[in-house]
Amino acid sequence: MSLPHAILTALLEKPSSGLELTRRFDRSIGYFWSATHQQIYRELGKLEQAGRIRSLPSAAPARGQKKEYEVLAAGRAELSDWVRRSEEPKPTRDALLLRLRAAAVVGTEGFADELRRHLSLHRAQLDEYLAMEERQFPPERDTEADRLRHLVLRGGIELERFWTGWLTEALAEFERLGPG
């Protein structure tokens, strides 16, 4: 049940409409919890019905008209609870590692290309995170909230470093196995 909480977090950072949220998910929150606009609109409806957010009075209720939402006290309380609740980490589900294991059984022909492709995607993501780090966290920004958000970004950075490192190692192994 993370999506509603991701939305509450985003709305607390800045009240927004559904489309604005969708865009912010595409380039910020979504790096850790992606969502499409369909999911977001559906969830905004549920959150409003549950009394956790409300649409700003200025907003027209018509279709095609922008509708801005803000978080109510009940929404903040719910988010605060969620952060404190203890939750089990979800078991890993990674298709690439699974496919490599399958390749060990049915053969690796053509798989090196896929590894190269993933490597370049992860390198690009890593570069993007590093650029974000420079822009968003210059040394003078150092409030408690800044340090925490920086920590989250460093999580993303180190995760991409893991992928680029492992993929590089995997490609080296493939070259040792011979051209295929």
Partner DNA sequence: TTACTCATGTAAGCAGTTACATGATTGT
Partner DNA sequence: ACAATCATGTAACTGCTTACATGAGTAA
Tell me whether residue 6 or residue 53 sits nearer to a second copy (CB atom): 6
- Shortest reach from residue 46's CB to a second copy, in Å: 18
Q: Could you tell me which of 22, 31, 35 has the C-alpha nearest to residue 125?
A: 31
| Cα–Cα distance measured from residue 30 to residue 55, given in angstroms and rounded to the nearest whole number | 22
Using CB under 8 A, which of 58, 62, 63, 87 touches a second copy? 87
Using the rule CB under 8 A, which residue among 64, 89, 139, 179 binds a second copy? 89
User: Which residue of 98, 124, 130, 131 would you call a contact of a second copy, by CB under 8 A?
Assistant: 98
Site for a second copy in 122-141 (CB under 8 A): 122
> Taking Cα atoms as reference points, which of 54, 57, 59, 61 lies closest to residue 8?
54
162 binds, among a second copy, DNA, none (CB under 5 to 8 A by kind): a second copy
Asked if 179 touches a second copy (CB under 8 A), the answer is: no
Going from the C-alpha of 35 to that of each of 40, 76, 122, 139, the distances in angstroms are 7, 21, 20, 32
Please count the residues of the chain.
Answer: 180
List interacting residues with DNA (CB under 7 A): 1-3, 17-20, 34-39, 41-42, 44-45, 62-67, 90-91, 93
User: Which residues are CB-contacts of 168 (< 8 A; sequence separation ≥ 6)?
Assistant: 119
